[in-house]
Structure 1
Amino acid sequence: MEHHADLVVLGAGQSGLATAALAPRHGFARTLVLEAAEQAGGSWPHYYDSLTLFSPARYSSLPGMRFPGDGDRYPARDEVVDYLRAYARRLDADIHTSTTVTSMLPRDGAWVVRAHDGSRFTAPAVVAATGAFRGPYTPAVPGHEEFAGQSLHAADYRAPDPFTGERVVVVGGGNSAVQIAAELGAVAETTLATRRPIGWLKQRPLGRDVHWWFQHTGFDIAPLSRLLERMPVSVLDDGHYRTALDTHGVERREMFTRLTPDGVVWADGAEESVDAIVWATGYRRTFPYLDGSGALDLDGRPRHHGGIATIAGLGFVGIEFQRSFSSNTLRGVGRDAAHVLSRLGRSR
């Protein structure tokens, strides 16, 4: 079956939905959204159960629809999923779920997008908004293949109960690592392994949420993408997570140097038996459906400037630090989507 549209958007997560919502304003009369999952929501339904936003609800909205409830609260994962699915139902766009894109190639001034079921979609413009969470990253640590315990990425972690009474090491120094270590500490002997000390950032400096400061100083939208990519990771906390780590005896240790069949070898040479390792080590951008299109460099990274691909008719939304600090966030993807759509609309 073949479908034609003015714009095809890949992904029905926050980035794809924001793009589809803004498309009519930029001259795209018919938009198709292709989503691999059975429902809209992107990666959010797959995050761990207790995930809570570090941005208040008032700073967590997509274009045209306020995040419901008290604006000063910090929404939970399931609230975000519900919000995104409600947002999708309001869109003036056709959303094709259970549609996995396998390839995408430019042809005769248009893009030909093929799905796993043989469906074909064509459009003069395409926005790849499949996000940065398709490729969980686990660093290559010596002995990894020898380790006989449980080794899982944060993408596969859901809740602490299965680890009750075990010895667990959480690897990573970001928000997710700290959240996971804090809740695991209540049921398991837990250590947080990082390459450098955790950089704590106050959630509410001088009585205002840090996102208020980001907005009112202009930092949130400053074009500092290259600088931001090199900034050390910081953990936003109102004191809750530091207290939880201390209460449950979760210590931070220098990253281990290797794995053994039974556990880890710490930086000081001490060996310790470990039951499980949770790798909260981030994700790598991956766009397998763009292989052979000319849109990726030799390392598989998109060739783009602020989301505008170096190949005509293609844009990206949802890349971390794509244009600013708030890129790839609920509050920031709309700005990036508008920028990309305006450029794609002009080039048609």
Structure 2
Amino acid sequence: MPASTVRDVDILVIGGGQAGLAAGYYLNRLRRDEASGRSGQAPSFAILDANREPGGSWQHYWSSLELFSPAVYSSLPGYQMPAWDGVGNPSADHVARYLCTYEARYDLPVHRPVRVEAVRGADSGFSTDTDAGQWTSRVVISATGSWNAPEIPRMPGSGDFAGEQLHTADYRGPQSFAGLDVVVVGGGNSGAQIAADLASTARVTWVTRKPPRYLPDDVDGRALFDIATRRVKALAAGETGAGGVADLGDIVAVPSVRKARDAGLLETRPMFARLVPGGVQWEDGSKLDADVLIWCAGFRPDLHHLQPLGLTGRNGVPATDAKLPTTSVDHPGLFFLGYGDWCGPASATLIGVGATARDTVAAAARYLAP
């Protein structure tokens, strides 16, 4: 699309990963309903994706990463993920192929690679600047996820460390770390899985702020989704005693993690105090040599494109409507999809995003109705 081109749609979805595709499925269903005479005119829509290939962020994960659940419990609406015939749960590559098939199956109007630079308010709704031209729309559904917004803590001595500092987003597999001293920092699922992945290749030290808490071995992603959903419903009903996933633990014991844990390969050390040229140092002065630090410190929502809108913040994220947590309080035509529980229970998961996408598309259609 030439840089001078201006395209117009009713609904612009920003992000072509699992959340954007789930929204596309329900928008496409409105189009099918229109064709069959079951509804009025369906809104026009387009999906913009910054990746060169389909598959969302899953195409960038390390090869040994696996889902928390079997394929049957890891599907987007309308089309079940094909069965996985490998060891453990489906791999990241399997998910990426599934998303590619999903996009093609429903002939979703995904434009790539298109990088969104800024979304601005306009008389008719929104004007969206991209590196491939401008789009106007009455509705924007932001579904960019968090993969492109990794967080690396600033530690004392960060500039002194002579080795390499990476983030979860940079990790591709154990091959390039053979024989190295690697410190993996972070007590969540990424830290556990990467430490387990490196255990047979590198000299790994796993550092966590508190002792790791494993969920019961029989708890998988389906159970986590059910627990998170029950908690959200209970809180909405005014019940204060509803426990959440965090009450059970922080780490899902997928097969690779269980194997390394049971072999004694996932022992941890407490968080260090600072970085030094050759590694890390604790408060008591003890040091540990390190060639590489891998920060499994999480991500934040990738919302840089929405900065021109001057959104109201709440608890570090954009403020949303209490009744429909995907709707912006500042712009009723702006929706957030797939960033986590603050915009829908388990909405950052394959199994959880479908219901939130359905409600979001329905709300967007109501907003557009005469």
TM-score (normalised: structure 2): 0.85
CA contact 1:9–1:32 (8 Å) conserved in 2 = yes
| Partner of residue 65, structure 1 | 79
Give yes or no for the alignment of 1:269 onto 2:269: no
CA contact 2:184–2:191 (8 Å) conserved in 1 = yes
CA drift of 1:273 comes to 1.4
How far apart in 2 are the matches of 1:110 and 1:214? Answer: 34
Quickly say closer, same or farther: Cα 1:162–1:54, change in 2 above 3 A.
same
Structure 2 gaps, min length 5:
31-40
How far apart in 2 are the matches of 1:12 and 1:243? Answer: 34
Give yes or no for the alignment of 1:317 onto 2:337: yes
CA drift of 1:221 comes to 6.3
CA contact 1:181–1:245 (8 Å) conserved in 2 = no
- Deviation string, structure 1 residues 93-136 (Cα, Å, up to 9, x no partner): 3211011111111211321111113x111111110000022210
CA contact 1:135–1:286 (8 Å) conserved in 2 = yes
Structure 1 counterpart of 2:9, from 5, 10, 13:
5
CA drift of 1:274 comes to 1.1
How far apart in 1 are the matches of 2:232 and 2:50? Answer: 30
Bigger mean CA deviation after superposition, 67-76 or 79-88? 67-76
Structure 2 counterpart of 1:254, from 241, 246, 270:
270
CA contact 1:185–1:245 (8 Å) conserved in 2 = no
Q: In the alignment, residue 6 of structure 1 is paired with which amino acid?
A: D
| Partner of residue 173, structure 1 | 187
Give yes or no for the alignment of 1:80 onto 2:91: no
How far apart in 2 are the matches of 1:298 and 1:324? Answer: 15
Q: In the alignment, residue 98 of structure 1 is paired with which amino acid?
A: P
| Partner of residue 29, structure 1 | 43
Give percent identity, aligned residues only. 35
Q: In the alignment, residue 85 of structure 1 is paired with which amino acid?
A: C
How far apart in 1 are the matches of 2:228 and 2:170? Answer: 37
How far apart in 1 are the matches of 2:266 and 2:114? Answer: 42
Correspondences of 1:50-61 after superposition (within 5 Å): 50-61=64-75
How far apart in 1 are the matches of 2:265 and 2:228? Answer: 37
| Partner of residue 125, structure 1 | 139
Give yes or no for the alignment of 1:110 onto 2:129: no
Structure 1 gaps, min length 5:
none
| Partner of residue 363, structure 2 | 343
| Partner of residue 326, structure 2 | 307
CA drift of 1:203 comes to 3.5
How far apart in 1 are the matches of 2:228 and 2:55? Answer: 31
Backbone CA RMSD of aligned residues: 2.7
| Partner of residue 350, structure 2 | 330
| Partner of residue 219, structure 1 | 230
CA contact 1:228–1:321 (8 Å) conserved in 2 = no
CA contact 2:62–2:173 (8 Å) conserved in 1 = yes
How far apart in 2 are the matches of 1:157 and 1:15? Answer: 23
How far apart in 2 are the matches of 1:216 and 1:249? Answer: 30
Q: In the alignment, residue 309 of structure 1 is paired with which amino acid?
A: S
CA drift of 1:242 comes to 3.8
Q: In the alignment, residue 195 of structure 2 is paired with which amino acid?
A: A
CA contact 2:326–2:344 (8 Å) conserved in 1 = no
CA drift of 1:228 comes to 5.7
Q: SS state of the match for residue 84, structure 1?
A: helix
- Deviation string, structure 1 residues 27-62 (Cα, Å, up to 9, x no partner): 643210001111222211111121100122111111
Q: SS state of the match for residue 190, structure 2?
A: helix
Q: SS state of the match for residue 118, structure 2?
A: strand
How far apart in 1 are the matches of 2:224 and 2:180? Answer: 41
CA drift of 1:324 comes to 4.7
Quickly say closer, same or farther: Cα 1:213–1:7, change in 2 above 3 A.
closer
| Partner of residue 33, structure 2 | none
Q: SS state of the match for residue 284, structure 1?
A: coil
Q: In the alignment, residue 292 of structure 2 is paired with which amino acid?
A: A
| Partner of residue 278, structure 1 | 294
| Partner of residue 204, structure 1 | 218
How far apart in 1 are the matches of 2:254 and 2:303? Answer: 36
- Deviation string, structure 1 residues 215-242 (Cα, Å, up to 9, x no partner): 4995386465998697686111156424
Structure 2 counterpart of 1:14, from 18, 21, 40:
18
CA contact 1:327–1:333 (8 Å) conserved in 2 = yes
Give yes or no for the alignment of 1:140 onto 2:154: yes
- Deviation string, structure 1 residues 79-104 (Cα, Å, up to 9, x no partner): 00000011111234321101111111
Q: In the alignment, residue 8 of structure 2 is paired with which amino acid?
A: H
CA contact 1:204–1:210 (8 Å) conserved in 2 = no
Bigger mean CA deviation after superposition, 224-233 or 102-111? 224-233
Matched positions, count: 344
How far apart in 2 are the matches of 1:44 and 1:246? Answer: 28
CA drift of 1:302 comes to 2.1
Give yes or no for the alignment of 1:162 onto 2:176: yes
